[in-house]
Amino acid sequence: MATKRVRRIRKTNAYTLRNKVKILRGGAQFFRAIEDIAASAQYSLHLQTYIFDENDTGNRVADALISAAKRNVFVYVLLDAYASQKLSPAFIARLRDAGVHFAYFRPLVLSNVFYLGRRLHHKVIVADARVCMVAGINISDRYNDIGDTPAWLDWAVHAEGEVARHLNDVCIRVWNRSALRKKCLATAPPQSPLPSEECLVRIRRHDWVYSHTQITRSYRELFNAAHKHVTLMTSYFWPPFKLLKRMAEASRRGVKIKLILTGRADVPFAKYSERYLYPWLFRHNMEVYEYNKNILHGKVATRDNEWLTAGSYNVNNISAFASVELNLDISDRPLATDLTDKLQAIIDDDCTQITSDSFSASNNVLKRFGYYLSYRFIHIVFYLFTFYFTQKREKD
């Protein structure tokens, strides 16, 4: 019976079974994992990310990529043209001279299709279609543990097995569509033995322009399927209306919903907009916690100690309707329980609970009007700077 159930899940939801998975917190261990993955590559290595900065962390990652290329590994690096635009020509030349295939996603000028606001936001690395990481973590010092300064809080999923094979195909498709005439040559890496471990994992893509809306559907399913509790951590909370509706419905069914949001925002205006929603959250009996130890940049959610999602997707309209995002959904009780426990420890040790009373006491009418203006203004900015000539359908 269990075997039939697993087969049915895999068929209907594209879960893969033969995977070895662990959840990593951002910082030094994440960047060590990147270096280890690059060092293990023998045939192909894909790195696709939003921000790649030319600092100590960026140079370490670049050295790992260059080392792989010098071993005759096919190395493909795809960066967002806007977020990584500060890279110097000398830095890029150093990568290319070593044999790294380098390209920008949707160059701001040289683009065969014009989509203002559509950005490559996912963060993924895959070696040999065998091992991979999907994260919300960019390549820069602020996401690393540098000296006495802790990294911004974030998460990654490290996986070996079937999911890495499929993720390698995703990276090739994204590269071929984005790198103009620089088609990927590493199309058939040798098949590595699959791990003996079993863990249900599925890739969830989000690219509204090409009709990929899987991650938003995952979050709707999260609240539809919840029976006991949901813990959601996100760095920029501005949910689509339909998702707010699902959250309210789950709360009315008695599901305990905990939201971990940032208290120290890197984009203060976004935090003002986010706080406009707090009274609505309180009215629907949701618990709100603000993380104050550092900047919160994580994007994870867990349900009932059974299921979790993690990756680059922020719970907001920008991720839902503009950016290219990638998450992994994992149906595994030990992993979901472990992440839920870690999130609870963060709540207990590093967060301040915001209640209806404390919010009212610390926010006067003028502040609340500022939150309202910020919320409305961010909607206007979103619609002005994120528009599309048409929504396309991808032919895979």
Same domain, 189 and 270: no
- Does 2 fall in a domain? no
Contact 115, 388 (CB under 8 A): yes
Contact 151, 27 (CB under 8 A): yes
Same domain, 115 and 263: no
Same domain, 71 and 31: yes
Same domain, 193 and 219: no
Kindly state the tokens that stand for 43.
């045939």
Same domain, 86 and 209: no
- Does 228 fall in a domain? yes
Catalytic residue numbers, as ranges: 121, 123, 128, 297, 299, 304
Same domain, 142 and 33: yes
Domain limits at 119? 15-198
- Does 216 fall in a domain? yes
- Does 10 fall in a domain? no
Q: How many whole angstroms separate alpha carbon 16 and alpha carbon 166? A: 9
Same domain, 177 and 224: no
Same domain, 54 and 137: yes
Same domain, 266 and 238: yes
What is the crossing angle of helices 28-40 and 56-70, to 10°?
A: 10
Q: Any alpha helices (H) in the chain, and if so which ranges?
A: 2-13, 28-40, 56-70, 89-97, 162-178, 214-225, 241-252, 268-275, 278-283, 317-321, 333-350, 356-362, 365-385
Last residue of a domain, one of 169, 198, 227: 198
- Does 393 fall in a domain? no
Task: Tell me how many domains the chain contains.
Answer: 2
Last residue of a domain, one of 138, 168, 198: 198
- Does 396 fall in a domain? no
CATH code assigned at 62? 3.30.870.10
Same domain, 108 and 148: yes
What three-state secondary structure class fits 8? helix
Last residue of a domain, one of 198, 219, 247: 198
Distances (CA, A) of 280 to 270, 276, 286: 17, 8, 9
Q: How many whole angstroms separate alpha carbon 241 and alpha carbon 280? A: 12
| pLDDT tens digit at each of 396 positions of the chain | 344 434 433 444 589 999 999 999 999 999 999 999 999 999 999 999 999 999 999 999 999 999 999 999 999 999 999 899 999 999 999 999 999 999 999 755 444 444 556 889 999 999 999 999 999 999 999 999 998 888 999 999 999 999 999 999 999 999 998 877 688 988 878 888 999 999 999 999 998 877 889 999 999 999 999 999 999 999 999 898 899 999 999 999 999 999 999 998 888 878 888 999 999 999 999 999 999 999 999 999 999 999 999 999 999 988 888 899 999 999 999 999 999 999 999 999 999 999 999 999 999 888 888 888 888 887 777 766 665 544 555 444
Same domain, 183 and 271: no
- Does 392 fall in a domain? no
Same domain, 178 and 280: no
- Does 9 fall in a domain? no
